[in-house]
Structure 1
Amino acid sequence: MMQGVFTYLLESSLALVLVAIFYKLVLEDLTFFDLSRAFLLVLITCAAVLPLISIDFQWLAEDSVRRVNNSLPWLNGIENQNLILTEENNLSWYYVPLLVYLAGLFFRLVKLGFGIYRTLVLIAQSQKIETDSHTLVINPKFIPASFFNFILLPTYQENNSDQQQILLHESVHIQKGHSWDVLFVQLLKSVFWFNPAIYMLEKQLREVHEFQADQAVTSQYSPVAYSRLLLRQLRQDCGLQFMNNFNQFQTKKRIIMMNKSKSNGSLKSRFLLGVPMIVLMIGLFSCDMAFSESELTGVWKGTEFKFEQTAGPDLVAMVEGGRDLHIQSRLALNEDGTVQITSGQGEMNGSGTWVLKENQIVVSMGGEDTYYEILSLTDTELITKHEVEFETPMGKLAGTITLEYER
């Protein structure tokens, strides 16, 4: 379980870093703000979700696209208690970093929840003015901001020109649903609180939000007058981190962007680079080009035994004896590298160690290695094949044994 958690956090963190760098180098200077916002959200979502998906490129194999989370042992539905005990005994060193991570996650979620609660309490205690598309909430404790369908203001003067520009700015945040974006990123920031990339991406997304709103205002008001309004509105952030505050970001950068010439339409082709970016993340974090030990770890029950003889006498009784031992037997491939095989009657048939080499399970028992080629591996089924050769009173017997298991 814990190994899977850390694997996911590591892979998603690397993906978030790639997204932040990609946006910074390729898209940040463009004025196609709607497209920039959409791409940021898509890429951030891909970074969070793709490491949870395992796509098996054992081409044309049945069930080649495995279910979500199959590659993470903590979500595999492990049923065997011995495996859980083994994990607890051998992965105890994970507990310290896991507790540190959970403490950070708990702190971020509590902080977010408290911020939302405090905002809702202030809204409930404030004067409200209903309009056709949103609700104005007046309270001296607020600075101009938006929160879902609410526009928060310290005072309200209906005919004030400055305030009309602020209202237009905040109404754009509401119309475009920016509060949902911010809440989504805040939740991801709680999960990846240790990763600087998520803070960078949050800043980039919030900047795009402000550029979108500023663009709407300057389409109706003078950019010069609006820039002066921004300078007059400079003050400390109100501390409600999930809100879109009117003066939240670097005023200089917002003024530069609103006075910048619109990007040439041909530059939209840069957004096409997002496609290979997503393909790269799929290749790095979702594609399984070979089997992994975590997919094999667990307890398998023997269901079918097939023997194809290649040399030696016809010894049907010996073959049937092997079938009887395999059917209902239990193969325990433990995470610590040990293996136990018990018969259907519960008798120990052997124990030793196992490792995965490419597509073969190498089992070592009594100083001898047996190589089991993996023919098929899904969530619930394992099929292997191995060569056998041994002496009998009637001569050497050789052939191939195909074993089928279910989890």
Structure 2
Amino acid sequence: MEAGTYLLKSVAILSLFYMVYFIFLRKDTLFTAKRHFFLFGIAAALFLPFVEITRTIVREAQVLQSNPVMDLSGNATDISVASEPEVVFNVWEIALIIYGIGVLFMLSKLTIQLISLLKLLRTYPSEKHQKYSFVKVGEAITPFSFFRYIVFNPASHSEEELKMILKHEQVHVSQWHSIDIIVGHMTRAVQWVNPFSWWYKKSLEENLEFIADNETVSQVPSKKEYQLALVKTSSPLLAPALSTQFYQSFIKKRIIMLNKSTSKRRNLWKLGFVVPALALFLWSFNVTEVVEYKQIEIVEPDSAVTSVIPSETAETEPIENKQPTTSLTKEVIEPAQIQAPPSALSKHTSLPSKTVAVKSNTKVKKTVDFRYTITKNTSNAQLDEIKAELKKEYNIDLKYKAERNSNNEIVAINISYDDNKGGSGNYSINNDDEPIDDFVFFLNEDGERGFWSEAQEARRAERMENREMERAKRMADRAKRMQERELEMVERKEELEKRQVKIKEEMKERMREMKDRQEEMIEREREMVRASNEMARRNNRD
């Protein structure tokens, strides 16, 4: 398989998976299922382009002479095919060279990032606890994990925040999310020309954070405290590119997903939308046609005349016969021919003295297709004619009831049909005193039937658009309220911290005052003891 063809197929498959995710799965909370969907999509983009479906086509090849062909004047004619000059360097080769340079650049950048990450892990000692290796650093860096390593700066966080952060990163380590990150980076590097691969990687990383958040919330004491930690620590810090980071730029999405109700398991059926799309893709682009030729017998007339074959593809022109049941249809013979003696060729002309019998296994299927347009000015007589014609020609029963205004225009109609084969339908509209819009009753060659109105469809589309706009507005208002609540929570948190600091200072001041009073009381007790001793000495002297 050519590299360009493979790349185009791989790009199409990955883009197909992303579109299915974006349309059907993006808002669901089945995060683990979506993780499997992302990984399956990358595997499909890697391997499915190699899958080929073979379809065998059997065609009839006419018997032709292999000797030099003689034209009607008796001159020998040689058939030759002019070969086109070979293009040594074309646009596709230039595009592939540019693509290859881009892949090398992306892979080199990925390698440098990996080396930088490994260098950071070797710079600081690690403390192993169970299956986790904790690396404490002194740099201002956001907490992250890479395989079994969890890297963090303990001086940058409070004790409670650090506990939640470590639980979050432990989820990444336990579920091997680093593999997903590396696979996503490599897929983007190989398909850097595909914008969907960049969005695919971003959505994959977002879903991993949703998984970790969902698992962490079930382990921490307070869901609100965890959300506050996300908002409070949302300032961007440096972090290696191949790591799973606690602080991400999509904090708002993470908080929304944390507060979103859990999707039902039956929503997993949405994953199946990709199956028919993949099947259609394989049938459209991965089918290899194998043509097999079979020899057919041609009835030879009394007088055979050799004629010129004007091109590589010979055509048999229509032969009409006075017999009503005999006719030959035009047939295109493929370039591959079968050799035979000269007597097998006949002149392409009418044969008045011969009756040529042609056997054909082709069955002609009669297709039914009609379209009746009903307007505001259609009279009852015309409706009755349509009703009678449908019954006579197609055995379809049509019933209608129409109301008209003073101008004899239809303002309301209720019309229904029954094809006596289990199929039925109806169409009803009431415009008060306004004329109805045009509509049609149709049956096409695919068997689809029913009523259709362009004006009604336009109004329905307009209503749907208005609903979507209202829904988008509600979602925007809800997001705005959520953001305001987040800010309010942050302000409350800051106010609470200020109060705690103030209380601590007041407690320290009170402790100092109590200490001073204790020292003062001790000093008074000492003075009283000295005075008592002095009085005792005086008494002894007396």
Q: TM-score, normalised by structure 2?
A: 0.48
C-alpha distance in structure 1 between counterparts of 2:296 and 2:53, whole Å: 32
Aligned in 2, Cα 1:252/1:90: closer, same or farther, shift over 3 Å?
A: same
Match of 1:199 in 2: 198
C-alpha distance in structure 1 between counterparts of 2:155 and 2:277, whole Å: 46
Match of 2:168 in 1: 169
Q: After the TM superposition, which residues 262-273 of structure 1 pair with which residues of structure 2 at under 5 Å, given as runs?
A: 262-273=262-273
Match of 1:386 in 2: 337
Match of 2:37 in 1: 39
Match of 2:257 in 1: 257
Match of 1:9 in 2: 7
Cα distance per residue 1:88-141 (max 9 Å; x no partner): 844433332122111111110010000000000111001211111111112233
C-alpha distance in structure 2 between counterparts of 1:159 and 1:136, whole Å: 17
Aligned in 2, Cα 1:152/1:285: closer, same or farther, shift over 3 Å?
A: farther
Q: After the TM superposition, which residues 310-329 of structure 1 pair with which residues of structure 2 at under 5 Å, given as runs?
A: none
What is the CA-CA distance between 1:255 and the residue it aligns to?
Answer: 0.4
CA contact (8 A) 1:136 1:152 kept: yes
CA contact (8 A) 1:27 1:270 kept: yes
CA contact (8 A) 1:136 1:150 kept: yes
C-alpha distance in structure 2 between counterparts of 1:272 and 1:192, whole Å: 25
Q: After the TM superposition, which residues 115-126 of structure 1 pair with which residues of structure 2 at under 5 Å, given as runs?
A: 115-126=113-124
Match of 1:322 in 2: none
Q: After the TM superposition, which residues 269-288 of structure 1 pair with which residues of structure 2 at under 5 Å, given as runs?
A: 269-288=269-288
Aligned in 2, Cα 1:280/1:175: closer, same or farther, shift over 3 Å?
A: farther
C-alpha distance in structure 1 between counterparts of 2:285 and 2:155, whole Å: 51
Aligned in 2, Cα 1:87/1:126: closer, same or farther, shift over 3 Å?
A: farther
Aligned in 2, Cα 1:264/1:181: closer, same or farther, shift over 3 Å?
A: same
Look up the SS of the partner of 1:238 in the other structure.
coil
Match of 1:55 in 2: 53
C-alpha distance in structure 1 between counterparts of 2:344 and 2:37, whole Å: 63
| AA in 2 matched with 1:244 | T
What is the CA-CA distance between 1:370 and the residue it aligns to?
Answer: 6.3
Structure 2: which 5+ runs fail to align?
Answer: 59-83, 301-308, 315-334, 346-542
| AA in 2 matched with 1:93 | V
More strand per residue: 1 or 2? 1
Q: TM-score, normalised by structure 1?
A: 0.63
Aligned in 2, Cα 1:367/1:310: closer, same or farther, shift over 3 Å?
A: closer
CA contact (8 A) 1:140 1:154 kept: yes
Match of 2:136 in 1: 138
Identity %: 27
CA contact (8 A) 2:142 2:239 kept: no
2:179 counterpart of 1:228: no
Match of 2:154 in 1: 155
2:312 counterpart of 1:369: yes
2:91 counterpart of 1:93: yes
C-alpha distance in structure 1 between counterparts of 2:247 and 2:193, whole Å: 27
C-alpha distance in structure 2 between counterparts of 1:30 and 1:368, whole Å: 61
What is the CA-CA distance between 1:87 and the residue it aligns to?
Answer: 11
CA contact (8 A) 2:178 2:242 kept: yes
Structure 1: which 5+ runs fail to align?
Answer: 61-85, 293-306, 313-365, 372-383, 399-407
Cα distance per residue 1:59-101 (max 9 Å; x no partner): 89xxxxxxxxxxxxxxxxxxxxxxxxx9984443333212211
Q: After the TM superposition, which residues 58-69 of structure 1 pair with which residues of structure 2 at under 5 Å, given as runs?
A: 58=56
CA contact (8 A) 2:135 2:151 kept: yes
C-alpha distance in structure 2 between counterparts of 1:40 and 1:237, whole Å: 28
| AA in 2 matched with 1:13 | V
C-alpha distance in structure 1 between counterparts of 2:18 and 2:210, whole Å: 18
What is the CA-CA distance between 1:256 and the residue it aligns to?
Answer: 0.5
> CA-atom RMSD, angstroms?
3.2
| AA in 2 matched with 1:233 | T
Cα distance per residue 1:344-385 (max 9 Å; x no partner): xxxxxxxxxxxxxxxxxxxxxx975268xxxxxxxxxxxx96
C-alpha distance in structure 2 between counterparts of 1:16 and 1:117, whole Å: 28
Cα distance per residue 1:258-314 (max 9 Å; x no partner): 1111112332222233433433343344333x259xxxxxxxxxxxxxx999999xx
Aligned in 2, Cα 1:196/1:370: closer, same or farther, shift over 3 Å?
A: same
| AA in 1 matched with 2:13 | A
CA contact (8 A) 2:142 2:245 kept: yes
CA contact (8 A) 2:171 2:215 kept: yes
C-alpha distance in structure 1 between counterparts of 2:230 and 2:18, whole Å: 27
The higher radius of gyration belongs to 2
